[in-house]
Amino acid sequence: MKQYGKVAVLMGGHSAEREVSLRSGAAVLGALQSQGVDAHAFDPSEQALTQLVDQNFSRAFVVLHGRGGEDGTVQGALEYLGIPYTGTGVLGCALAMDKVRTKQIWQAQGLPVAESVVIRRGQSIDPAGLLRQLGGKVMVKPAQEGSSIGMSSANTPEALTKSLQLAHEYDEEALVEAWLAGPEYTISILGERALPSIRLQTTHEFYDYAAKYQAGDTQYHCPAGLSPLQEQALQQLAVSAFRAVAGSGWGRIDVMCDALGEFKLLEANMVPGMTAKSLVPMAARATGLSFEQLVLEILDFSLTEHED
């Protein structure tokens, strides 16, 4: 057993993804404790982060989803406190949380993304013209939310206006993307390698919050049904996308196909869901890695990635 010392599993927090984070944190905590790690739950919404120092924690396993945990904020605080932590650092988390800046970086690197337009809160627009520009149907997303919160589709000017209102309830900026009609994939990153891709299949119009966490009929295909060459290309694309936004340790890249079957990058997740039924553990199992082994491997990165 490696010497991890006293480990804080950071979970909960203040974001709109708090409940998901609590479930992820409980699963990670149980897995660490089952492997003999001196791990303890720590909810930053209930304790000041300085308590990590006062309580003599050696490192932190970050399972905070969304704002305040996945956006570089807590990573910066941990670095200031001198506490090593799992996953991506301040810059990568801040970039990946912002879908607009993530897409801009991917575009600058020549990586494939759907055509999109950014609309700020209060900005006057021509909804019909915007729909024509983006192909007649769009997906509208808050720039900085996860778990599909605040997302909706639109194919009429009236629906687009409502979708923008919803997205702007969560964020100053809304990302309006051309609708992608093909299948959706997610690729988990562990260290320097991509795990097998997972194809997501839902009866909902898109893979929304309910499809992720509530529906009983969402299907996950791993292997994804791609040819060996397609699988290799998708994994390479995911690793390139992850590195482009300074990802490290572990994470997940979401991809969809357009009507022509071309891969288009959607977003990067630097602190993905980590319940036993989540997508990263599912991909890990396909390589023979148990949930407990996966959690320990992620924790191992804190021994080298963010040490003083």
Query: 307 labelled as ligand-binding?
Result: no
pLDDT at res. 122: 93
Residue 248 catalytic?
A: no
If asked whether residues 142 and 217 sit together in one domain, one would say no
Q: Which of 21, 24, 278, 302 is catalytic?
A: 278
If asked whether residues 271 and 187 sit together in one domain, one would say yes
pLDDT at res. 147: 52
Assigned domain for 293 exists: no
Assigned domain for 41 exists: yes
Query: 254 labelled as ligand-binding?
Result: yes
Which CATH number characterizes residue 71's domain? 3.40.50.20
If asked whether residues 216 and 107 sit together in one domain, one would say yes
Assigned domain for 308 exists: no
Q: Which of 15, 147, 163, 188 is catalytic?
A: 147
pLDDT at res. 276: 72
Which CATH number characterizes residue 262's domain? 3.30.470.20
Query: 56 labelled as ligand-binding?
Result: no
pLDDT at res. 66: 85
pLDDT at res. 5: 96
Ramachandran quadrant class, 12 (left: phi over 0; alpha: psi -120 to 50; beta: rest): left
Residue 42 lies in domain: 6-87
Residue 278 catalytic?
A: yes
Q: Which of 17, 145, 173, 177 is catalytic?
A: 17
Which CATH number characterizes residue 150's domain? 3.30.1490.20
Residue 17 catalytic?
A: yes
Our count of domains for the chain comes to 3
If asked whether residues 138 and 151 sit together in one domain, one would say yes
| pLDDT by position in tens, the chain (length 308) | 578 999 999 999 988 889 989 999 999 999 999 999 999 999 999 999 999 999 999 999 999 998 889 999 999 999 999 999 999 999 999 999 999 999 999 999 999 999 999 999 999 999 999 999 999 999 999 988 655 678 899 999 999 999 999 999 999 999 999 999 889 999 999 999 999 999 998 765 555 444 444 445 678 999 999 999 999 999 999 999 999 999 999 999 999 999 899 999 999 999 999 987 799 999 999 999 999 999 999 999 887 655 54
Assigned domain for 11 exists: yes
